[in-house]
Amino acid sequence: MGYLIQGRVVVPGETSGELLVSTEPLSFWGGYDQQTGEIIDRRNALSGRNARGRILAVPNTVGSSTTTAVLLEAVRAGTAPAALITRGVDTFLALASVVAGEMYGRPIPIVALDDAQFARLQTGTQVSISADGKIKTTPAPPLVTVVTPSYNMARYLPETIESVLSQNYPNIEYIVIDGGSTDNTLDILKRFAGRLRFVSEPDHGPADAIAKGLRQAHGEIVAWLNADDTYLPGAIRTAVDYLVSHPAADVVYGEGWWIDEDGAIISRYPTLAFDAKVLQRDCFICQPSAFLRASSYRRCALDPNVTRSFDYDLWIRMSKAGFQFSSIPEYLANSRMHKGAKTIYEREIVLRSSMDLLKRHYGYVPLPWVFGYTAYRLDHRDQFFEPLRYSAWKYLASLPLGLWYNRRKPLKFFSEWALKGAQELWGRRPRLRRTPGPAC
């Protein structure tokens, strides 16, 4: 439910936007980046959040004329808050607003509240301020945190970033974790400063980067989007609407497209309605189209030590722990397949990693994975741009490998191998034409 507060006008003005609330004083000098609008005071709970264009509520400031100087520079740079709400009248904030009006014609509206009124304010709430000091609030939509891991992906990164920032959803926290790229990734990220947060430092790969980013997340809903993938318009709102209206769901995922390096559609991603038994054989969830409740993710998080197929590992662990998955028919994302993608150029490692995690979680590696790995070892076709080719020799070679991987369940594997072999002899080859989950 929204509510109405009658505040005291310090500097009149009308505006609306998302509310950022600090219960502690904020040091603008050294605590507010006037070039981007980011709050960088590490002692403040809002550290890392961006106040540009938002309504910033602080009980008071720490400093004197320095507060005025920082805010004036932020107004000039276009990175100042849209309005300020204080607990009582703060002289230095008021001075900054008045001078900004004189110098730039853009005074910052300021409203003062008493202690009880200030205590009602909550970060994320949508607020409108009228010229007479009335503050009207409406419940904020859930904050969604999107994390992008990146390493030398400058070719695709701008499109990925734009696909997030152009979403028709008002409450997004976007974090890019870069692994110390040596291309022009940093130049790209700096262009978007103030609209996203980024860190650039060495890491241990994408799983480590994503886990690091999600540990910094403030959102009620979280997702990650690789630096070469993109969201489709309306993806985040669609996912949020589903999770809000289906409180029992922990994870929602939609349809997706495989696209090539130029963004042209290759084919539909082979998603399936969720089935825990099918998950034992195939990674059918289109990862860039997946969104998770943060509360659920925190109970079953990515394992940064799983460096390949880490999304498949997460889905399996969440499924085994009883988390609820839901699939929806809307197309939400594009998964880019290109020669530089790890799932292509590290195909052998990905296949072996997937077999290892299936054995670890279920104690059994199904035939399609064994056959795919055997075929790759024999012909080195990537099984995506170069489709998997069946041959009797490859099939025969998969038997000893499969028996070794499944040495605790040799009869189960031999039965599956013999049944599929009989189907092959009769000309039916539905499961050996492609390796399961080539994007996992």
Specify which of 85-89, 100-104, 213-217, 339-343 reaches the highest per-range mean pLDDT. Answer: 213-217
pLDDT of residue 440: 54
Within 286-415, strands assigned E span 290-293, 325-336
Sign of CA dihedral 308, 309, 313, 315: positive
Give 25-47 pLDDT, tens digit per residue.
888 888 899 889 988 887 787 88
Looking at CATH, the fold of the domain delimited by 144-336 is given as Spore Coat Polysaccharide Biosynthesis Protein SpsA; Chain A (3.90.550)
Q: Which residues contact 103 (CB under 8 A, 6 or more apart)?
A: 72, 75, 76
Are 275 and 346 contacting, i.e. CB atoms less than 8 angstroms apart? no
pLDDT of residue 424: 57
pLDDT of residue 228: 94
Active site residue 163: no
**Mean pLDDT of the region 7-11:** 93
For the chain, residues classed under CATH 3.50.30.10 are 4-138
pLDDT of residue 439: 45
3-class DSSP state for residue 300? coil
pLDDT category at 389 given cuts 50, 70, 90 is confident
For the chain, residues classed under CATH 3.90.550.10 are 144-336
Give 328-377 pLDDT, tens digit per residue.
999 999 999 988 777 787 888 989 999 999 999 999 999 999 999 999 99
Residues in the chain: 440
Strands 110-113 and 8-11: antiparallel
Diameter over CA atoms, the chain: 86
Q: What CA–CA distance (Å, rounded) separates 2 from 18?
A: 14
Q: Rounded to two decimals, what is the model's pTM?
A: 0.74
**Mean pLDDT of the region 159-182:** 93
Residue 194 reports pLDDT greater than 90? no
**Mean pLDDT of the region 72-80:** 91
Give the CATH architecture of domain 4-138: 3-Layer(bba) Sandwich (3.50)
Which of the residues 16, 27, 64, 295 is marked catalytic? Answer: 64
Apex CA 272: angle with CA 267 and CA 276, to 5°?
Answer: 145
55-59, 233-237, 307-311, 431-435: range with lowest mean pLDDT: 431-435
pLDDT category at 387 given cuts 50, 70, 90 is confident
